[in-house]
């Protein structure tokens, strides 16, 4: 169900076992070939497709579109919360619905810069509200790791930024928004990789993207999308189902 399409009386009657899905995105630069809303569009679409398969088990909120994008600010058009502003915005959505006695919350995040903050916000909420069940999920975590490796054609076998994976997903879901004539590879990284390195995007890219977007195709995007939605449906069902004893067969 979609929260924004219900009345307050509809919401009052819902089961409190329902899983609240909160898409979190961003409006930030995605290189010369993808639109600023890429992360918001993909997170929203993933959450909508999951909700469509589990309408009675899920309550989908509108997307938090203003993300934590301070590391992209050197590029025009990028909008960003402060870290504390983002933390507060996400917590207020959860705490508002918790006040209405909902207890299960899962983010469907589409933006790398929100990952740490979603986890920190939820860890903080959990410590103060142990009855809440919280999951800081990212749509790009839903496929098996082997799916990325087996599906992506270029040398980078995971999702980066305006990369083969993201450009393929956009070619599949929102092809009219992709500037196909501007697709390019970009990005610098140290060899060997430095664990935990913190960067601003203008330090590590020429035009804002990170990865091998020239390998992108709508076919790759369709295969990834199927894995994202299938994995997401499974994750939400497992979350709704609750804990099982370690290793127990279901
Ligand atoms: Zn992105």
Q: Give a three-class secondary structure readout of 21-58.
A: EEEECCECCECCCECCCHHHHHHHHHHHHHHHHCCCCE
Tell me, yes or no, whether 57 lies in a domain: yes
| Whole-structure pTM value | 0.96
Q: Is 104 helix (H, G, I), strand (E, B) or coil?
A: strand
Tell me, yes or no, whether 164 lies in a domain: yes
Give me the pLDDT at residue 190, please: 86
Instruction: Please tell me the distance between residue 38's alpha carbon and the centre of ligand 1 in angstroms.
Output: 6
Tell me, yes or no, whether 115 lies in a domain: yes
Instruction: Please tell me the distance between residue 94's alpha carbon and the centre of ligand 1 in angstroms.
Output: 24
What CATH number should be reported for the domain holding residue 123?
A: 3.40.50.10310
Tell me, yes or no, whether 146 lies in a domain: yes
Instruction: Please tell me the distance between residue 72's alpha carbon and the centre of ligand 1 in angstroms.
Output: 11
Give me the pLDDT at residue 124, please: 98
Give me the pLDDT at residue 250, please: 56
Give me the pLDDT at residue 26, please: 98
Query: Which residue segment(s) compose the domain that 19 sits in?
Result: 3-241
Instruction: Please tell me the distance between residue 201's alpha carbon and the centre of ligand 1 in angstroms.
Output: 12
Tell me, yes or no, whether 250 lies in a domain: no
Q: What is the CA angle 147-148-154, rounded to 5?
A: 135
Instruction: Please tell me the distance between residue 167's alpha carbon and the centre of ligand 1 in angstroms.
Output: 9
Mean pLDDT by 10 residues, the chain (250 residues): 98 97 98 98 98 98 98 97 98 98 98 97 98 98 95 95 97 98 93 91 94 98 98 97 76
Tell me, yes or no, whether 66 lies in a domain: yes
Instruction: Please tell me the distance between residue 98's alpha carbon and the centre of ligand 1 in angstroms.
Output: 29
Q: How many domains does the chain have?
A: 1
Instruction: Please tell me the distance between residue 43's alpha carbon and the centre of ligand 1 in angstroms.
Output: 10
Instruction: Please tell me the distance between residue 243's alpha carbon and the centre of ligand 1 in angstroms.
Output: 32
Give me the pLDDT at residue 64, please: 98
List strand residue ranges (DSSP E) for the chain, in order.
19-24, 58-60, 104-109, 133-138, 185-186, 211-212
Instruction: Please tell me the distance between residue 112's alpha carbon and the centre of ligand 1 in angstroms.
Output: 7
Give me the pLDDT at residue 244, please: 80
pLDDT tens profile 18-73: 999 999 999 999 999 999 999 999 999 999 999 999 999 999 999 999 999 999 99
Instruction: Please tell me the distance between residue 68's alpha carbon and the centre of ligand 1 in angstroms.
Output: 12
Instruction: Please tell me the distance between residue 153's alpha carbon and the centre of ligand 1 in angstroms.
Output: 19
Give me the pLDDT at residue 172, please: 98
Tell me, yes or no, whether 247 lies in a domain: no
Give me the pLDDT at residue 245, please: 80
């Amino acid at each position: 169900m979609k929260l924004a399409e219900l009345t307050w009386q509809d919401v009052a009657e819902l089961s409190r076992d329902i899983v609240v899905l909160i898409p979190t995105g961003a409006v930030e630069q995605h290189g010369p070939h993808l639109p600023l809303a890429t992360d918001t569009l993909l997170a929203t679409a993933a959450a909508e497709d999951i909700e469509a398969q589990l309408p009675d088990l899920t309550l989908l909120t509108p997307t938090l579109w203003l993300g934590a994008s301070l590391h992209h600010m050197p590029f025009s058009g990028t909008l960003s919360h402060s870290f504390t502003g983002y933390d507060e915005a996400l917590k207020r959505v959860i705490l508002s619905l918790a006040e209405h006695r909902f207890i299960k919350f899962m983010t469907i995040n589409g933006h790398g810069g929100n990952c740490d903050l979603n986890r920190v916000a939820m860890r903080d909420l959990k410590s103060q509200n142990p009855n809440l069940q919280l999951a800081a999920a990212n749509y790009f975590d839903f496929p098996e790791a082997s799916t990325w490796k087996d599906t992506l054609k270029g040398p980078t076998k995971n999702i980066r930024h305006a990369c083969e994976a993201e450009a393929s997903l956009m070619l599949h879901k929102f092809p009219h928004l992709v500037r196909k004539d501007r697709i390019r590879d970009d990005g610098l990284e140290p060899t060997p990789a430095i664990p935990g390195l913190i960067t601003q995007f203008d330090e590590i890219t020429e035009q804002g993207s990170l990865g091998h977007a020239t390998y992108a195709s709508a076919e790759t995007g369709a295969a990834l999308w199927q894995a994202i939605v299938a994995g997401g449906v499974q994750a939400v069902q497992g979350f709704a189902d609750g804990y099982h004893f370690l290793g127990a067969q279901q």
